[in-house]
Amino acid sequence: MTSSGPQGDPGPVFSALADPTRRAVLRAVAARGTATATELSVEVPVSRQAVAKHLQVLAGAGLVATERTGREQRYRVVPTAFTSAVAWMADVGAQWDRRLARLTDRVGTRDQPTRAIRPG
């Protein structure tokens, strides 16, 4: 998998974050600063092998980076990986804001109160 990057496709980030266990693993890495799969398996209710597979998906989406320290592979969160997903959400939110504003304008102009003509 490729990293989403600041201007890249946010799909891999959303896909990686769709799984609740992966989100728990990511939260645990963020809380620790750095962690190994073994350390994380104590905090997340899945096996070490399952944690390692979730970390691979998170790394593929660019959400975590690895660093080898001796025989251990340590993971850390890469905050910039969220940039494309946040930008996409902001863009979609802005589009909806514009649509809702146009709708409000149209509804507001059509429903202007009209004065009733009273016979004289």
Given a cut of 70, whether residue 1 has pLDDT beyond it is no
The counts of H helices and E strands in the chain are: 5, 2
Tokens at 37, concatenated: 């799969």
The helix (run of H) or strand (run of E) holding residue 85 is helix 83-110
Residue 23 placed within a domain: yes
pLDDT category at 2 given cuts 50, 70, 90 is very low
Residue 117 placed within a domain: no
- CATH number of 102's domain: 1.10.10.10
Rg of the chain on CA atoms, in Å: 24
pLDDT tens sequence across 29-62: 999 999 999 999 999 999 999 999 999 999 999 9
pTM of the complete model beyond 0.75: no
Residue 116 placed within a domain: no
Q: Identify which has the larger pLDDT, 120 or 89.
A: 89
Instruction: Give the residue carrying structure tokens 């620790």.
Output: 32
Residue 51 placed within a domain: yes
| Total domains in the fold of the chain | 1
Residue 50, domain extent:
1-110
Residue 119 placed within a domain: no
Rounded to 5°, angle at Cα 14 from 9 and 97: 80
Residue 118 placed within a domain: no
Instruction: Give the residue carrying structure tokens 């979609």.
Output: 92
Residue 63 placed within a domain: yes
The answer to whether the CB of 65 falls within 8 A of the CB of 76 is yes
Residue 120 placed within a domain: no
Given a cut of 90, whether residue 74 has pLDDT beyond it is yes
